[in-house]
Structure 1
Amino acid sequence: MSLLSVVVPVFNERDNVAPLVQEIVSALDGRVPFEIIYVDDCSSDDTLAVLQALKMRVPQLRVITHQQQSGQSTAIRNGVKAARGAWIATLDGDGQNDPADIPKLLQAREAGQALVKLYAGWRVERRDTGSKRWASKWANAIRARMLADDTPDTGCGIKLFEREAFLDLPYFDHMHRYLPALMQRAGWQTLSVPVNHRHRTTGVSKYNNLGRALVGIADLRGVSWLIKRSRRTGVREL
């Protein structure tokens, strides 16, 4: 079996780091060769120190730190660039994604078609606040109408995708929210897989509904423009 790289972006998640790392190890140990890459986005707490201490006890753990705060999309991309595996699993660092779902995504990949390069988690039962669930439902409806990406939950942090296909996508801030549409634009197929979603038990959310909505409007317009301007064709060497 080929190596799987699990990429986890974090910012001020010092209390979530150790439990989540242990859950990842428990979910994957003995199932598949794996590495865990944490990308610290200049946390202002001691998240990085916790990671450095944990690295001494968990041989699969690698730690990358940004020199300046750059956001979740950049953290994910830098983790993917550093990854040694041909396939990448991503998780949010807040503990709301369940690492036990990674084997489910791997099983879906084994049963999937070669053209499917992204297996996206689908939080069927959200464990967020009512306002956050409402905002997400509204945003998903608008996104689906504009992008026609046939994805019920593009914002779920747990995903499995091919490293090479991901790095071939256009990069921009917040691109991680639009991976299904971007993969489809590149000519690949995507598949949504129902996954577990958990309450945040420690730390605080890094987003608010208004800020996410304002950024999302500009992003949607940009991704819609990219899709309309896309040109694809097969090639052959003579």
Structure 2
Amino acid sequence: MSIVVAVLNEQENILPVCKELATVLPSLPPCEIVFVDDGSTDGTVEQLKQVRASIPGLESLRILRHDRRCGKSSALRTAIRHARGRWIATIDGDGQDDPLELVALLALGTEGEQKGRAPLTVGTRLKRSDTIWRRIATRFANGLRQKLLHDGCPDTGAPMKVFLREDFLCLPYFEGMHRFLPALFISYGVPLVCKPVHHRSRLHGHSKYTNLGRAIVGIRDLLGVMWLRNRTHLPKTVQEC
């Protein structure tokens, strides 16, 4: 499995996040950890190099760096394209996600595969540790997406997800796609499994998105995803004759 983390100016959070990841690795199958720095202007990359050199178990941590800020979806795409694992696990790099949750999310994924089809497993944040305005904005956005996309996911932008690498690489890429992965995966025949997970307060720093900024971009992207789903026509099976 490849655990991928997209980061932007998270220098202060790198050490505690990586320490937690190191403690979880023994509970997971053979893993690699891939960080993608999306054009940070602080010491994020230098901190990652120090972590790689100093924390036992993280000697093989991989660090990829964009030459400029391209957005979270682009960073995740870079990480997944370069990942070597068959399974992909995504988490945020701000400390709000508990990496121990990945154990159960992966188990649900492998269980689904044994039953016939590997799912997209989403760790839904039922009780978010954010400001009240951010919670209100997120609740509205999730409600609107569910109403228009019917994706069956109460928290489509949840950072913690587990899925097959090959399934992700089949999806059309656009910046902002990480907020619509349940709807996109479903369009390509991938089932959805949701599991409630714990959500914590950000360790240091602040979010890179404002409510207004996310709303403006999110509405445009939502219309685009509706168009994509309407124009996606795939066979359920293919037979060679």
Shorter-normalised TM range? over 0.9
Q: Which AA in structure 2 matches 1:93?
A: G
User: Residue 183 of structure 2 aligns with which residue?
Assistant: 181
Counterpart mapping for 1:52-131 below 5 A: 52-57=49-54, 58-112=58-112, 113-131=115-133
- 1:194, 1:148 → 2: CA distance? 19
* Structure 2 unaligned blocks of 5 or more: none
| Aligned match for 2:24, one of 27, 45, 64 | 27
Deviations 1:96-137 (A, max 9, x none): 011110001012123324324310110011111100000001
Aligned to 1:44: 41
Give me the TM-score of the superposition, normalised by structure 1: 0.96
Query: Under a length normalisation based on structure 2, what TM-score does the superposition of the two structures give?
Result: 0.95
Whole-angstrom distance in 2 between the partners of 1:127 and 1:12:
20
User: What displacement does 1:230 show?
Assistant: 1.2
Tell me, what secondary structure is at the counterpart of 1:120?
strand
RMSD: 1.1
SS of 1:56's equivalent in the other structure is helix
- Alignment match, 1:235: 238
Q: CA deviation at 1:30?
A: 4.7
- d(CA) in 2 for partners of 1:151 and 1:31? 25
2:204 corresponds to which residue? Answer: 202
* 2:27–2:103 Cα contact (<8 Å) kept: no
Name the SS for the 1:37 alignment partner.
strand
- Separation in structure 2 between the aligned mates of residue 31 and residue 222 of structure 1, nearest angstrom: 37
Task: Give the gaps of 5 or more residues in structure 1.
Answer: none
Q: Give per-residue Cα distances to partners, 1:17-50, cap 9 Å, x unaligned.
A: 1111111111122531111000001101010111
Cα distance in 1 between the residues matched to 2:60 and 2:132: 37
Q: Are the counterparts in 1 of residues 88 and 163 from structure 2 also a CA contact under 8 Å?
A: yes
CA distance in 1, matches of 2:101, 2:197: 6
- Which segment drifts farther, 227-236 or 71-80? 227-236
Which letter maps to 1:72? K
**1:178-221 residue CA offsets vs partner (Å, 9 max, x unmatched):** 00000000111111111110001211110110000000000000
**Identity across matched positions, percent:** 45
Equivalent pairs, count: 235
Is the Cα–Cα contact under 8 Å of residues 117 and 165 in structure 1 kept in the other structure? no
Deviation at 1:174, TM superposition (A): 0.5
Task: From 5, 24, 46, give the equivalent of 1:8.
Answer: 5
